[in-house]
Chains A and B, each alone.
Chain A
Amino acid sequence: MSDANIKVWDGSEMLKATLRRWDGSKFIPDQPYLPYRLFQNGEEGIWLDPSDLDTLFQDSLGTTPVTAPGQPVGLVLDKSGNDYHATQPVASQRPTYGIVPKGGRRNLLTHTEEMDNTSIWDRGGGASGISATPSPEPDVFGGSRAFQANQLTSDSSYLFPEVEVGTGPYTLSLWVKGVGPSIGSRIRYWIWTVGGSEGTSLQAIHTLTDEWVHITQTGTFTKGGKPRFRFDTGDGVDNIGEGNHYLVCLPQAEKGTEATAYQRVGNEYDVTEEGVPSIHYLSQDMVDDNLDIDFGKPFEGTVVQGTLQSVTRYQINVPDGKWQLSPDPLSPLDDGTTVSLIAVEGVMSDDDFDKVKAFMQKKGAGL
């Protein structure tokens, strides 16, 4: 029951008041809707909540907790109180725990704060190219380490990450800052996909300062491939000189013509954005991942499943009590993710469904 806002006429003016429940000793403040209420009288059903890390384990026996995005999930504890935990004993069939900012992922890169990881961030160009080793200066920007871009005798150097983009307009951005002798130098920044000449690349000249500057470039790629962040020093702009360097960090590649706020991407399941709430979810690969739920008896009821795309309601009937949560590759509404899942025995009323749907949307279902 929610608090009720009422108006009271005191004889001279209208007063606003709030009715609250009295439990005999104190007023009980209004509580946000929680699915506990569906099960408070021992009702049958399940409630899976991937945002509660205390309920996730990497193995089906519950010995190794899930602690980070990208880890497998072999056990999800049921929060309904019925102990119908969801399990997957087969290692290859376990879903993966992930987080993504509300609004979704835009940065197509991975390992965005590991530009010194050469197995992810390849580099090229003439002599030494950009080393992108972590800056020796204790320079941190936007929560990320800065990386040192050395350009020795080469006049063009580039970095390309271990991801591929398609054709069409893309925007590649990052932050740069001059250091010592490189301050005041002009560098040319341009982008293309590997296979370069097939893409339409755009370029612009930027002058390095002692402040961090966000540089962006949009190009229309006519051939998909690994996007390149290319920097020229020399060849019509300034040669920053052997032994000198500047700093780079917070790279982002995204579809479209606009550079949006930076999203940190560890791996495809680990995406965060400063100031934006994270949505926690389970990801099933739409190949063989699934979770088993054993009701121990016949179960016929309503399932409400919140995915990153939507909140859907459907009926299930499992005479043997064994239900498998597996994505439907033929359903356009099923993207293989689970932000929240609730099942109740029988038919869920529209009123309860509306509350559950609102609850799941607050958790980020439907983004």
Chain B
Amino acid sequence: MSIRVTLICPEALIDEANHLAMVLGYSAADIDTYGEPRWQDDSGNLYTVASTLVFGAFVENATSALERPEWDTDNTVNMAAANRAQSKVSIWGLSGEEEDDPVLDTEHILALFHPDPHYALGLVGVKHIEEEAA
């Protein structure tokens, strides 16, 4: 069974978040998971957003001790950076219980589990820069 997760990463954490994405992903190409920060909050802080369906043991893998992926035979992944990113992930929407709305800040990577990514983004009030300008 799959579930959608929408990840909101503050600008300052993009580099380490991409190393975490490589550990949880499938190849070195996943270093481009978090691109240019094109989303912002009401205070003007910038974020990059990724949204994807995840399967099976993703959540367990993402919250367990990280291991260097098998494909990474030449140490492309900076595991220290990946671990730093993992320690800053804040999960919302998995408890199955009513939860307070998630709160966005520049110190954490928010992982919002909800089938509609735009609903999830609306909960924290982050807006796409181009949409806001239109």
Chain A residues in contact with chain B, CB under 8 A? 59-60, 70, 72, 89-94, 96, 119, 267-268, 285-289, 329-330
Contact = CB atoms under 8 A, between A and B. Distances in A.
7 contacts: A89-B27, A92-B30, A92-B51, A285-B51, A287-B6, A288-B49, A330-B131
B53 interface: yes
Nearest to B130: A330
Contact of A59 (B4, B6, B26): B26
A278 B98 CA distance: 36
B102 interface: no
A155 B68 CA distance: 55
A201 B117 CA distance: 31
Interface in B88-112: none
B86 to A, nearest CB: 16
Contacts of B1: 119, 267
Nearest to B5: A92
A91 B21 CA distance: 9
The 9 closest A-B pairs by CB, nearest first: A89-B29, A92-B52, A287-B51, A91-B25, A92-B50, A285-B51, A287-B117, A92-B33, A90-B32
A8 B120 CA distance: 68
B33 A91 contact: yes
Interface residues of B: mostly helix, strand, loop or mixed?
A: mixed
A90 B27 CA distance: 8
B84 interface: no
Interface in B1-43: 1-2, 4, 6-7, 21, 25-27, 29-30, 32-33, 35
Nearest to B35: A288
Contacts of B32: 89-90, 93
A329 B132 CA distance: 11
B30 A70 contact: no
Nearest to B33: A92
Contacts of B2: 70, 267
A330 B132 CA distance: 10
Interface of B: 1-2, 4, 6-7, 21, 25-27, 29-30, 32-33, 35, 49-53, 115, 117-118, 121, 128, 130-131, 134
B118 A286 contact: yes
B117 A285 contact: yes
A268 B115 contact: yes
B14 to A, nearest CB: 13
Contacts of A288: 35, 49-51
Contacts of B130: 329-330
A268 B1 CA distance: 11
A205 B13 CA distance: 59
B31 to A, nearest CB: 8
Nearest to B53: A96
Given A267-B2, A329-B128, A92 B134 contact: no
A91 B117 contact: no
Q: Could you say which of B2, B4, B25 has the most chain A C-beta atoms within 10 Å of its C-beta?
A: B2
Contacts of B121: 287
Nearest to B3: A267
Nearest to A111: B1
B53 A330 contact: no
A97 to B, nearest CB: 11
Interface-centre pick from A72, A91, A286, A289 (highest chain B CB count, 10 A): A91
Contacts of A267: 1-2
User: Which of B26, B128, B131 has the most CB atoms of chain A within a 10 A radius of its CB?
Assistant: B26
Contacts of A92: 7, 21, 25, 30, 33, 50-52
Contacts of B117: 285-287
A121 to B, nearest CB: 13
Contacts of B118: 286-287
A91 B52 contact: yes
A329 B131 contact: yes
Contacts of B115: 268
B15 to A, nearest CB: 16
Contacts of B49: 287-288
A289 B1 CA distance: 20
A56 to B, nearest CB: 15
Contacts of B7: 92
Given A72-B53, A91-B33, 5 more contacts: A268-B115, A287-B6, A287-B49, A289-B51, A330-B134
